[in-house]
Structure 1
């Protein structure tokens, strides 16, 4: 089995050594060949499996210009792009690691969404396990809207958390505290909430004034937000979802739920 990895961005820089570490033969293809990579067409022509690790908008264009031969499998590692982008290839599959690849982060331990036909599902599952990944079966074929929802969920769980922390840092500054102290002080709270969620589930981990039905504290939070010149839309949306979790956990009675909803509408 020979793998060609086309493009050498952040994902490829994690995938190539992982494949080689699992005993796979890998050639790298780039638009500008060098001592470590050959041309795109040359790399693809050698391979049984061709990985298109290029930006989403370039996947369909690249798939259309490669000289495919019978028996080859085209793969992309995108969470958002439907497999139709690989339609010119004899067969197509998706292999999407659910991992933020910052710095030298490897793939080991992450889940990987696999979308593949029956002929390639088992080999891809085995490869994922050989790479130290946890295989996650995606529907095949996966409708475009379903894939978009899946990718939005992954993005919300990653960069969405950063948006919440940015809002928290804005309130931290409004309290007159040093900006450079915000993340060191707040990140342990985030990690603690995530660790508790892993152990108890989302509803079991929810805490704070919503989970206690403490409408007085909520009112002061909204007042602080207005004083900081920040919009209330993000906080209101987050608190409404916290309320849903608190209800799932049985933390609040009907009167408390009504009072919290009133406080959120006033905020």
Structure 2
């Protein structure tokens, strides 16, 4: 199996060595190749599978500019882009690793969302296993709205957590504590919540004043957010979701739910 990888960003820098370590030949195609390097057309011509690891808004144009032949498979690794962007190719599939690729992080250990026609699915699932990934079969075909929801879920679970930690850091600083200490001190709480959720499920992991029905603490939290000069929209939105989890876990009585909603200004 010979693979062409078109584009050499962060994802490709993890994908190429993983493919090579699994015993596959890889040709990297670059938009502006240097001496001894291949163009996108040269790499694609020599390959069985062609990976388009370019930015999302370049996938369709890049696919349209390649000289496809029968039997080739085009793949993208985008979570948000439908496979219609690869319409120029004879066959298309999506292979989206659910992993943040920061620094030198590799692919192994992550789930990978695979969208593919039935005739290509077994080979892609086998490749995922070879790369140390856990294959996750996506609906096929996956429409634009479903793709957007899937990708929004992934983004919320990744950078969405960073937004929450940023808000926590601002409140930490408003309490008179050193900003540099915020992340090292708070991140273990995030990690602990995730570990508990994996063991017990989301409702079983929820804790804090909302889950206890402690309306006095909730009121003080809202006052602290106001005193820090922050909008309390994020705090309220998160508290409402925590309340739903606490209800799902049977943690609160109807009266407690009403009191929490009143404390949040929602009743």
Q: Who is 1:80 aligned against?
A: 80
2:113 aligned with 1:113, yes or no?
yes
2:182 aligned with 1:210, yes or no?
no
Looking at structure 2, the residues matched to 143 and 82 of structure 1 have their Cα atoms a distance apart, in angstroms, of 6
Structure 1 residue 54: Cα displacement: 0.3
1:102-181 maps to which residues of 2 (within 5 A)? 102-181=102-181
Structure 1 residue 37: Cα displacement: 3.2
Structure 1 residue 113: Cα displacement: 0.2
Looking at structure 2, the residues matched to 37 and 260 of structure 1 have their Cα atoms a distance apart, in angstroms, of 62
- Paired residues in the alignment total 267
Structure 1 residue 36: Cα displacement: 6.4
For the aligned residues, what is the CA RMSD?
1.1
CA 1:266–1:52 in 2, change beyond 3 Å: closer, same or farther? closer
1:118 is paired with a residue of what secondary structure? coil
Q: Who is 2:220 aligned against?
A: 220
Structure 2-normalised TM-score?
0.98
1:262 is paired with a residue of what secondary structure? helix
Deviates more, 1:25-34 or 1:151-160: 25-34
Structure 1 residue 143: Cα displacement: 0.9
Q: Who is 2:261 aligned against?
A: 261
CA displacement 1:96-122 (0-9 Å, x = unmatched)? 000000000000000000000011000
CA displacement 1:66-109 (0-9 Å, x = unmatched)? 11111110000000000000000000000000000000000000
Q: Who is 2:231 aligned against?
A: 231
CA displacement 1:147-195 (0-9 Å, x = unmatched)? 0000000000000000000000010011011110100110011111111
Alignment gaps of 5+ in structure 1: none
Runs of 4+ that moved beyond 6 A = none
Looking at structure 2, the residues matched to 40 and 25 of structure 1 have their Cα atoms a distance apart, in angstroms, of 16
Structure 1 residue 33: Cα displacement: 1.7
CA displacement 1:18-76 (0-9 Å, x = unmatched)? 00000011110001223563111000000110000000000000011111111110000
Looking at structure 1, the residues matched to 50 and 11 of structure 2 have their Cα atoms a distance apart, in angstroms, of 14
CA 1:202–1:241 in 2, change beyond 3 Å: closer, same or farther? same
1:89-104 maps to which residues of 2 (within 5 A)? 89-104=89-104
Alignment gaps of 5+ in structure 2: none
